Amino acid sequence: MEKNIRVRFAPSPTGGLHLGGVRTALFNYLFAKKHNGTFVLRVEDTDQTRFVEGAEEYIVDCLNWCGITPDESPQKPGAFGPYRQSERKSSYKQYAEQLIADGHAYYAFDTPEELNAKRAIYPNFLYGQVSRMEMRNSLTLPESEVAQLLAENTPYVVRIKIPENETVSFVDMIRGIVSFDTNLVDDKVLLKADGMPTYHLAVVADDKAMEISHAFRGEEWLPSAPIHILLWKYLGWEDSMPQWAHLPLILKPDGNGKLSKRDGDRLGFPVYAMNWTDPKTGDITKGFKELGFMPEAFVNLLAMLGWNDGTDQEIFSLAELINLFSIERISKAGAKFDFEKAKWYNHEWIKITSAEHLAPTVKNEFNNAGVEISDEVFLLQVINLIKDRCNLLGDFVAQGVYFFAAPADYDVAAVKPKWSPEKAAFFQEFAQNLAAGATALALEEQFKALAEAKGFKPGELMLPLRIMLVGGKFGPGVFDIAVLLGVGETQNRIEKGIAAFN
C-alpha cells in the first residue's frame, strides 16, 4: 500500500518569514493538496539562543494570509503532536544514546575554551575525522574516565561519527542522484549540553515520528542532507525515510547569490511576507501584505519562482496551482527575484478580481488614509473604474480619492496658459446642460457637439475638464468620472475649477 502523503514546513521561529520560506511552505502545501495529503507545520525551536518571541504566531499569520493553512500545527494539533520541538525534548535523547551504543556517535567533553583554543590555532577547524582523535571524547578517553565524567554530570555534547571514505548518495526528486564524500563532512553535534537536540537530530527524529513522506526544503539545506541520510540509516529507519526535494534558491535580482533581507533594503522592496516587528528593538521590517499585495498574487508569484506548468501561462489561482503542480516542472536552477515582475502579478490579480472581493481591503486603505466610505455601492463603482490602474492595493487611494472629496488643489499650470473667457463660458454652458442619467458616451457627444458649436477642438477642453474633476492629469475616462460623480457634484467642480483658472 502506498504510504500516506505527509509533508512538513519546519521553520525556526527566529524572526520575519522570508519569501523563500513561504515558497517552501507553498510547495509543501501544493504537493500535499494535489495528492490528498496532509500539510504539517512543525516549529523547530531547539536553538533557544535564536528563539524570538512572537515569531511563531507571525509565521502562522503569514500562512493564513497566503491561504496555505496547515492541517496539523501547534495551533491545530493532530495525532502526531506536540508540534513544537521544544515540547518534544524528552524524545530525542534515546536516539542519541542508541547511536552511541551502536558506534555511530560519541560523547564529547571538550569545553568551549578548549574548542576556542583549537580554533585560534586552526581558523578552519572542523571537529571530525582528522581532529576528533586529538579531542576529549569517548573515542579518545578510557572507558572508565568517560563513565566517571558522566557520573559527575560533566557537561557534554553528543556528536555523530561520520565514517571515512564513504559516499552518501540519495535521489533528490528535483536534482536526481546527489552524492557526498563523507571525508568532507564534519562530526555535527546531535545533542547539546542543555539536553536539547540540534536541528540535525530533531529533524530526523521528528520526520520519522510524524511519518513525513516527502520533505521539500530550500537548497541551502542540501549540505546537511548527508548527515540526515546517515542518521536515517544508523537509526535503522531507512525504509521510512522521506523522499527529498531541495528547492532552487531565490536569487538576488542583481548579481549572484541568495536574495537576502539586506538586498531588499538596498533595492527598496520587501522580502518578508508580512510586516515584522522586532520585539526587542521595535523596528518594523516591511512585508508584501502591508505594501499592498494581494495574497493571491503573492502566492502566484512565489509559485513561479522555480516552477512553471510548461506553457506561457503566468497567472494561476491556488486551486489551479494545486491541480497543475508537478515536481518534474520544478527547475534545478535558482530563480532571480524581480520586484517589477512581482508588482505585475499584483496588477494582473487586481484586474481580474471582482470589486466585491476587493472592497473590504480597499475600504480599509481609504480609512487608513483618513477617507471614510459610507456608500458601499458607490465604492464598488469606483473600484471597477480604477482597478486597471492600480499595481498595489494602496494605489486605490491615490487613484480614487477625488471620488470622495473634491480636489483641494488643481494643476493650474497645466491649464492657465491656454485658458480664456471663452473657455470659461463653454464650461458654464456645458455644466448647465448636464442631465441626470446620461451615459458617459452621451456626455462625451454632448461635450463634443458643444465644443464644435463654440469653435473649439474638443481635445483642448478635455484636459481642463479632467483637472476640474480630478485635480491633476490622471485617472480613467473623464466622462466616466463625471457620470460617477453625478450631475450636482460635476457642476460644483466645474464651477470651482473655473474660479481657479480665471
Q: Cell 506561457, residue?
A: 312
Q: Say if CB 160 and CB 227 are below 8 A apart.
A: yes
Binding segment for ligand GLU (CB under 6 A), chosen from 7-15, 125-133, 360-368, 443-451, is: 7-15
* DSSP E strand boundaries for 60-151: 105-108
Which one-letter amino acid corresponds to residue 401? V
Residues linked to residue 160 through DSSP beta bridges, in sequence order = 105
What residue spans of 331-412 are helical by DSSP H?
339-352, 355-368, 376-386, 395-400
Q: Smallest distance, Å, CB 199 to ligand GLU?
A: 6
Which residues, numbered 476-495, are part of the site for ligand GLU (CB under 6 A)? none
Q: Smallest distance, Å, CB 278 to ligand GLU?
A: 18
Nearest Cα to Cα of residue 70 among 89, 56, 49: 56
| Contacting residue, 6, 136, 217, 289, with ligand GLU by CB under 6 A | 217
| Contacting residue, 199, 402, 410, 479, with ligand GLU by CB under 6 A | 199
Binding segment for ligand GLU (CB under 6 A), chosen from 10-18, 107-115, 131-139, 470-478, is: 10-18
Q: Smallest distance, Å, CB 466 to ligand GLU?
A: 52
CA distance 60 to 413: 51
Q: Smallest distance, Å, CB 43 to ligand GLU?
A: 9
- The active-site residue, picked from 261, 336, 341, 454, is 261
115 Cβ contact partners less than 8 Å away, ≥ 6 residues apart: 125, 127
Q: Smallest distance, Å, CB 216 to ligand GLU?
A: 8
Cβ distance to ligand GLU smaller for residue 75 or 323: 75
Active site residue 258: no
Cβ distance to ligand GLU smaller for residue 10 or 431: 10
Cβ distance to ligand GLU smaller for residue 39 or 199: 199
Binding of residue 10 to ligand GLU (CB under 6 A) = yes
Q: Smallest distance, Å, CB 170 to ligand GLU?
A: 14
Binding segment for ligand GLU (CB under 6 A), chosen from 6-14, 69-77, 283-291, 305-313, is: 6-14
Cβ distance to ligand GLU smaller for residue 28 or 129: 28
Task: Please report which helix (H) or strand (E) contains residue 215, including its range.
Answer: strand 214-218
Cβ distance to ligand GLU smaller for residue 187 or 219: 219
Cβ distance to ligand GLU smaller for residue 257 or 472: 257
Angle of helix 440-453 versus helix 458-470 axis, rounded to 10: 130
CA distance 10 to 30: 16
What residue spans of 159-312 are helical by DSSP H?
199-209, 225-234, 261-267, 288-291, 295-303
| Contacting residue, 51, 80, 170, 221, with ligand GLU by CB under 6 A | 221
Cell output for 382: 469606483
128 Cβ contact partners less than 8 Å away, ≥ 6 residues apart: 162, 185, 186, 187
Which residues, numbered 407-466, are part of the site for ligand GLU (CB under 6 A)? none
Nearest Cα to Cα of residue 362 among 397, 398, 390: 397
Cβ distance to ligand GLU smaller for residue 11 or 295: 11
Binding segment for ligand GLU (CB under 6 A), chosen from 8-16, 87-95, 98-106, 172-180, is: 8-16
Which residues, numbered 17-46, are part of the site for ligand GLU (CB under 6 A)? 44
b/e code 338-354 from CB counts within 10 Å (16+ = b): eeeebbbbbbbbbeebe
Cβ distance to ligand GLU smaller for residue 10 or 451: 10
Q: Smallest distance, Å, CB 221 to ligand GLU?
A: 5
Q: Say if CB 27 and CB 237 are below 8 A apart.
A: no
Binding of residue 12 to ligand GLU (CB under 6 A) = yes
| Contacting residue, 6, 7, 11, 471, with ligand GLU by CB under 6 A | 11
Q: Is 131 exposed, middle or buried (0-12, 13-18, 19+ CB in 10 A)?
A: middle
Q: Smallest distance, Å, CB 85 to ligand GLU?
A: 9
487 to 97, 213, 435, 468, 479: CA distances (angstroms): 83, 65, 7, 14, 11
Q: Which residues belong to the active site? A: 261
Residues that bind ligand GLU (CB under 6 A): 10-12, 44, 199, 203, 217, 221
